[in-house]
Structure 1
Amino acid sequence: MLAPFACQPDASRGRLFDEGMSTFRSPFQRDRDRIIHSSAFRRLKHKTQVFVEHEGDYYRTRLTHSIEVAQVARTIAGVLGLNTDLAEAIALAHDLGHTPFGHTGEDALGALMAPYGGFDHNAQALRIVTRLERHYAGFDGLNLTWETLEGIAKHNGPVIGPFADEKHGHAPDALPYALAEVNAAWDLELHTFASAEAQVAAIADDVAYSHHDLHDGLRSGLFDEADLMDLPVTGPAFEVVDGLYPGLDPMRRRHEALRRVFGRMVEDVIAVARGRLEAAQPQSVEEIRAMEGTVIRFSKPLYQELKAIRSFLFTRMYRAPSVMRERARVTAMVNDLFPLFLTRPEFLPQEWREDVAAVRSETELARIVADYVAGMTDRFAIQEHARLFGSGDAA
C-alpha cells in the first residue's frame, strides 16, 4: 500500500506520445527498464565519478554510483510508503547527462558552450531521454512518464520562482536550452517542488557520494583513517568499531566504520521525513509539490556535520595536486575536441553528420557537437583525442 502522498501509477499524467499500458509492468517500472536498457546508461560504466575511469578498477564510476543511489532511494522510499519504482527510475537517470571526466568535463564544456546557451548535466539528461536516444519506431527518446521527467528536472528543487535556490535555480528567461525545450513541449511546473520520490532520489545521491567518496579517497591514498578520526560522523564511527572489534584487520575496520556512516545518514533522512510528513499530513502528491520546502532532507545537525566532511574532501581529494593535474589534462582534451568538431563537423561520425546537414545556425551546430562530446566516455574521449591530435596527451 502506497501512502496517499505517493505517486500512484494509475494516476500518472502519462507520456508525451500515448502508448498502451504494459501487461505486466506499471508505468514507472517501464520507465526504469527503459533507462536501464538505454545506450546512455551503459556508457556510464566508463565515465568518471571522481577518478578518471582508467585510474583503477575499484573506484566508483557514474554507473556504479547510479546503482548505489538507486539502492538507497528504494530503501528510503519503501520505508516512507512512496513509489519505489519511480524513485529508482529517477535515481538511475539522474546522471545520464554527465560528460566524460565528471564535473571537470562539465565545467569545460559549459565554458565552451557559454555562447550557445550553456551546458547543464541535468538538462542534458532530459535531452537524452526525450531526443537523443533513438531506438523506438514511434518517437525519439524514451517517452518516459511526466513524473519521471519532472523528477529528472526538479529533483534538486524548483528551477524557477521564489523557492529555487542559487545553485540550481534560473531566471525564467534563462533556462538551459535543453530544459527549456522539454518544458515547452510539456509543462513540468518548474516553479514547484518535485514529488517526494524525486526528493528521495536527490538525497540518495548525497548519501551515496558522501559515503563512497570517503571510501575511494582512502583507497587512493589521498588521506588515511587517522585523518577521519578528527571529523564528525566518521570519527565516532571508527571509535564504535574499535570498541566492538579491537585489532580488526584494517580493510574490515574501514568497511565497518563507513557502513555505519552510511547507516547514520539513511536513518537520519528517514527520521526527519517521518517527522515532517507527520506534521504536514499531506494527502496527495500535489500537496507535496505545493509545500514551501522539501520533506526529504537531513537534520540540521547532521547537515552541518556533513558540510565539515565535504570541506575535508574538497581540500584533500577533489583539489588534491594529483587530481588537479589530471583535471588540467582532461580539460585540455575537451578544449581541443569541441572546437575541432565545431569547425570540422566532417570529423563527426556519419549518423551525427546527418543531423549537421539540417542545421540552420552555428548555435544548432554547437549543440549537436556538445551532444556528441558530452556522450563520450572517458576512454573514448582519450582515444579520439589521441587519434585526432596524434598523442595521448592534450596539446
Structure 2
Amino acid sequence: MSDPIQDPPGLAPYACRPSMSRGRLHADSRPDLRNAFQRDRDRIIHSSAFRRLEYKTQVFVNHEGDLFRTRLTHSLEVAQIARTIARALGLNEDLTEAIALAHDLGHTPFGHAGQAALNDCMTDYGGFEHNLQSLRVVDQLEARYPDHDGLNLTFETREGLVKRCPLANAERLGAVGQRFIDGTQPALEAQLTNIADEIAYNSHDVDDGLRAGLLDLDALRGVEWIDTLYRHVETDHPRLGGRRQVYRIVRELIAGQVNDLLTTSRERIEAAGPDSPAAVRARQQPLIGFSPDMYARHRALKDHLMENLYRHYRVHRMTTKADEVVRTLFRRFMGDARLLPPAFRTTPVEQSSPGGERGQARVIADYIAGMTDRFALEEYERLTDPRKLT
C-alpha cells in the first residue's frame, strides 16, 4: 500500500501539498487512505452545515421551485469549475474542492438579504459576515468530536474560507487573519476558488433568472457579451430555441470565463515565477484573475443582473420578507433568551457579566445563520402566530 500522505502527482511547485500542510488546530490521528486535504473535504461533506445548504436560498427561496439552484447545488457547481481550472494549472484539486464545498457554510437563510439583515442586527455586537461565519462553523460550531469543537480542518482549507476581513477582526483570527494585516495573498487554490464562485453564480443566475421569467433574453442581449454569445449560438444552431438555447448560451458563458482565467493566470504565474506556496502568499496582488477585457464583461453582466434580477420586484418582495423574519427573530431572542432552544441559551449571570450581552447576540446570530429558509419561516410563525404554540 502506498504512503497515505503521499502528495498527488503532477503538482506545480507553487501548489499546496498535503505533506507540507501548516497543520490543524488540534492534534489529529494519522491519515489512513486519504491525504489531509481529502480528509478536510470528507469532513465538510459529512457536516450538518453542509446538509443544510440544500434548503438555503441562492436567489430563489427553496419553496419557489424545485429546479432553482440552492446554496448546496451552487457549492457543487463551484467545486466542479474550480477543480477543472486547478487541474489545468497544476494546483491541488483536493484542497480546491474542500474550499469550494465549504465556502458558503456560514451563509444565512434567504441569501444576501438574510446576511444584510443579520449584520444590521449585529452592528453593536461585532457585525456579521458569512465568510467569517463559515470559518466559525468549521472551527467552533460543528460538534462531532469528543475532545474539541469544530471539524479541525487544515490551515490551507481554513485560509480559503476567509475572502475578506476587516482589520478589527483579523487579529483575533490568528494565522488565517495575518494576511489581512500584512496585505498579502492566500494560496493559489484559495484565489482560484474565489473566482470560480463568481463564475458560477453569475452564469447560473442567468440560467435561473431566465427559467423563472424574471430575466428576458432579448433584454439580456443588451449586454454586449451576451449578445455576442447569442449570435454565436444562433449561427451554429439556427433552429435551436427554448431551454436548449439558454443552456448553450450559459455553457459558452462559463467556458469563455474559464478559458480567459486560465490564459491570464498562466501568464501571471509565469511572469511572477513563484517556486512555492510561500512565494505566492508573500505577494501583494493575486495571480489568479481575469484579463481586463473579461473583467469588464464580467462587471457589465453583474450590473445587469443587479438591476434586472436581484432588484426585480418579485425578488424584492421576498427580500423584504426575509428582512422582517430575520430582524424579528433576532429581536425576540435578544428580548427573552428563554425563547431559544436550551443549547443556545446563556444564563442571566452570563448575560450580566462583561461582554455577556455581546456573547448572547453572537449565539443568537449563530442560531439564525444556521437556519434553513424553511426553518426560519417556521420559527417566525411559532414566535408571532398565536395559533402556533410550539
TM range (shorter): over 0.9
Task: Write the letter of the residue equivalent to 1:81.
Answer: G
Offset, 1:80: 0.3
Offset, 1:198: 0.2
Q: Which of 24, 36, 44 lines up with 1:27 in the alignment?
A: 36
Matched, 1:274 2:274: no
Task: Write the letter of the residue equivalent to 2:138.
Answer: V
- Output the CA distance in 1 between the equivalents of 2:347 and 2:215: 47
The residue number in structure 2 matching 1:369 is: 364
The residue number in structure 1 matching 2:6 is: none
Deviations 1:279-315 (A, max 9, x none): 1111000111111211110110011011111111011
The residue number in structure 2 matching 1:163 is: none
Pair 1:65–1:131, CA change in 2 (3 A): same
Mapping 1:67-86, distance limit 5 Å:
67-86=76-95
- Output the CA distance in 2 between the equivalents of 1:378 and 1:365: 22
Offset, 1:21: 2.2
Paired residues of 1:116 and 1:363 also in contact (CA < 8 A) = yes
Paired residues of 1:28 and 1:85 also in contact (CA < 8 A) = yes
Q: Which of 122, 139, 148 lines up with 2:131 in the alignment?
A: 122
Task: Write the letter of the residue equivalent to 1:387.
Answer: R
The residue number in structure 1 matching 2:250 is: 258
The residue number in structure 2 matching 1:147 is: 156
The residue number in structure 2 matching 1:182 is: 173
The residue number in structure 2 matching 1:385 is: 380
The residue number in structure 2 matching 1:209 is: 201
Q: Which of 247, 252, 255 lines up with 2:239 in the alignment?
A: 247
Deviations 1:148-190 (A, max 9, x none): 111112xx3xxxxxxxxxxx452x3x22xxx654327x76543
The residue number in structure 2 matching 1:134 is: 143
Deviations 1:209-241 (A, max 9, x none): 111010011011112221222313221111111
SS in 2 for 1:82: coil
Paired residues of 1:146 and 1:188 also in contact (CA < 8 A) = no
The residue number in structure 1 matching 2:190 is: 198
The residue number in structure 1 matching 2:122 is: 113
The residue number in structure 1 matching 2:212 is: 220
Structure 1 runs (4+) deviating above 3 angstroms are: 179-182, 186-190, 354-360
Deviations 1:330-373 (A, max 9, x none): 10111110011112111111222368875531111111011001
Percentage of pairs with the same residue:
47
RMSD of aligned Cα (Å): 1.7
SS in 2 for 1:134: coil
Query: Which deviates the most, 249-258 or 376-385?
Result: 249-258
Paired residues of 1:130 and 1:182 also in contact (CA < 8 A) = no
Offset, 1:245: 1.1
- Output the CA distance in 1 between the equivalents of 2:299 and 2:322: 28
- Output the CA distance in 2 between the equivalents of 1:370 and 1:181: 18
TM-score by length of 2: 0.92
TM-score by length of 1: 0.91
The residue number in structure 2 matching 1:160 is: none
5+ long unaligned stretches in structure 1: 157-167
How many residue pairs end up in the alignment? Answer: 373
The residue number in structure 1 matching 2:101 is: 92
Pair 1:209–1:391, CA change in 2 (3 A): farther
Offset, 1:202: 0.2
- Output the CA distance in 1 between the equivalents of 2:52 and 2:235: 43
- Output the CA distance in 2 between the equivalents of 1:391 and 1:24: 54
